[in-house]
């Protein structure tokens, strides 16, 4: 990785006591990453936390889990909040880019939660890469640093990091195309054939949450 692209990690808590408190908070509570965007563990979305969720004004839940977790990581409030359930294998070869168009900024107040996996952090980092212009981090390393400053225990695997960096390139190219004139756009087609295969993937437009494929949830 180039020197200028290395991630800048925030400082850890100064004392052991501060570190312990931060670690407990990191694993047991949700934290607000951006106004209206929360990241937390499954315990933050359990039935005992309903009053907290309502007080925070949560309207949507993104539940990130592995297939083997489906029996115990499930929507607890299907009649209270709108859910998007993503079954994502927590391994470096899982294609997470295909899930990105499902997560939209049209959600008002959303909690992204999972079990103890790292996939949810990638979803949140993607959220920051493609967000309203007034608070957008176009570069993955900046988005990642912003998330980690608020939740220092995140540690995505190498495969997911590479995909987030690839998504950055795809989204950056898409923004460039949107700003091109028709003449410039026509000229660019001659270069398209020489692009790496991974960058030829089309990036679908984000749709409103109502158009998403929402997993039907059963009461646990």
- pLDDT tens digit sequence for 80-128: 999 988 888 777 777 777 777 676 656 678 888 877 645 556 565 555 4
- Whether pLDDT at 12 is above 60: no
Most confident of 5-9, 24-28, 142-146: 142-146
Cβ-in-10-Å burial (0-12, 13-18, 19+) of 135 comes to exposed
| CATH architecture of residue range(s) 30-181 | Alpha-Beta Complex (3.90)
How much is the average pLDDT of 57-74?
A: 88
Contact of 53 with 45, CB cutoff 8 Å: yes
For residue 57, name the pLDDT band (cuts at 50, 70, 90). very high
Cβ-in-10-Å burial (0-12, 13-18, 19+) of 123 comes to buried
Query: For the chain, what are the domain ranges?
Result: 30-181
């Amino acid at each position: 990785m180039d020197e200028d692209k290395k991630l800048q990690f925030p400082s850890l808590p100064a004392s052991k006591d501060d570190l312990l408190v931060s670690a407990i908070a990191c694993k047991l509570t949700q934290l607000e990453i951006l106004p209206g965007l929360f990241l937390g563990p499954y315990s933050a979305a359990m039935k005992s936390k309903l009053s907290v969720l309502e007080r925070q004004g949560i309207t949507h839940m993104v539940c990130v889990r592995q297939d083997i977790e489906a029996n115990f990581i499930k929507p607890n409030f299907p009649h209270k909040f709108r859910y998007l359930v993503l079954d994502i294998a927590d391994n470096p070869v899982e294609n997470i880019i295909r899930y990105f168009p499902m997560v939209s900024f049209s959600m008002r107040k959303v909690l992204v939660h999972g079990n103890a996996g790292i996939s949810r952090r990638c979803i949140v980092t993607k959220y920051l890469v493609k967000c309203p212009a007034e608070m957008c981090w176009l570069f993955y390393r900046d988005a990642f640093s912003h998330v980690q400053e608020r939740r220092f225990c995140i540690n995505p695997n190498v495969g997911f990091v590479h995909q987030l960096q690839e998504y950055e390139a795809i989204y950056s190219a898409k923004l460039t195309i949107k700003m091109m004139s028709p003449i410039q756009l026509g000229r660019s087609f001659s270069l398209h054939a020489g692009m790496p295969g991974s960058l030829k993937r089309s990036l679908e437009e984000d749709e409103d949450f109502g158009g998403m494929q929402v997993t039907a949830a059963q009461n646990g």
